[in-house]
Amino acid sequence: SQTIHQWPATLVQPVGSPLSLECTVEGTSNPNLYWYRQAAGRGLQLLFYSVGIGQISSEVPQNLSASRPQDRQFILSSKKLLLSDSGFYLCAWSSGFGYTFGSGTRLTVV
Amino acid sequence: KQEVTQIPAALSVPEGENLVLNCSFTDSAIYNLQWFRQDPGKGLTSLLLIQSSQREQTSGRLNASLDKSSGRSTLYIAASQPGDSATYLCALTNQAGTALIFGKGTTLSVSS
């Protein structure tokens, strides 16, 4: 069966520090992968999606970036965090038969 | 641009009541529509997936319908329970492989 792992679950980082969130998928190959952010009181916002290794599409211009170094690995990064980067980050994958989400990372930038 | 709206934003009902959550979308050319549940501070759990050729899907006490011509989907919950308390999100894709577009959700509270 397919599973999606996302870590860490919670993270508190100072402004200006770097960020690396990792997401891995098991039990499938060549999935479409997605990063979403859910800010307090707002809906889910698509940040990045990837249809293959090294292929990244950005939906929202910001100081975040994404990479896909392996088929089932998707990484969200930042060189310098801003207060506005706080939120709940969710990784997801799709196979054409619906979308499956990870358990999320709660990021608080202080 | 596809927009997804969920009404009401919040709903409180007593245990045992049947209820309907509504989702509307502006572009009827959708590929899939999916209903999710989100508990506070948690990720999203998929409840039901309706493909564009389908009109409804059922799982236990849940039934989701899709009417593309009117741009609407409903999630029906029968005999609600306190454990059903959560935020319910409607999301859809316009074509295969594209990202989900979400509504802002309906927060349901079921009191015992």
Q: Does A42 touch chain B (CB under 8 A)?
A: yes
CB contact under 8 A, B102 and A98: no
pLDDT computed for residue A43 by the predictor = 85
A95 close to B (CB below 8 A)? no
- Does A97 contact B at CB distance below 8 Å? yes
Closest C-alpha to B92, from B17, B7, B12, B27: B27
Residue B98: pLDDT band with limits 50, 70, 90: confident
What is the spatial distance between Cα A82 and Cα A72, in angstroms, rounded to a whole number? 28
What pLDDT, on the 0 to 100 scale, is given for residue A66? Answer: 96
pLDDT per residue over B28-79, tens digit each?
888 899 999 999 989 999 999 999 899 999 999 999 999 999 999 999 999 9
Closest CB from A88, A98, A102 relative to B46 = A98
Compute, in degrees rounded to 10, the torsion defined by CA atoms A104, A107, B3, B7: 80
For chain B, say whether A87 makes contact (Cβ under 8 Å).
Answer: no
Closest approach of B49 to chain A, Cα-based (Å):
6
Cβ of B95 under 8 Å from any chain A Cβ? no
List chain B residues with CB under 8 Å of A103.
42-43
Q: What pLDDT sits at residue B95?
A: 80
Per-residue confidence at B109, pLDDT binned at 50, 70, 90?
A: very high
Cα distances (angstroms) measured from residue B77 to each of A100, B13, B74? 22, 11, 10
Q: Cβ A44–B89 below 8 Å, yes or no?
A: yes
pLDDT given for residue B45 in this prediction: 95
pLDDT tens string for chain A (110 positions)? 789 999 999 999 999 999 999 999 998 888 999 999 998 777 899 999 999 999 999 888 689 999 999 999 999 999 999 999 999 999 999 977 789 999 999 999 99
* SS3 label, residue A84: helix
Residues in chain A with CB shorter than 8 Å from the CB of B46 are: 98-101
Please give the pLDDT value at position A61.
Answer: 66
- Chain B contact for A51, CB < 8 A? yes
Give the model's pLDDT for residue B107. 97
pLDDT of residue A2: 81
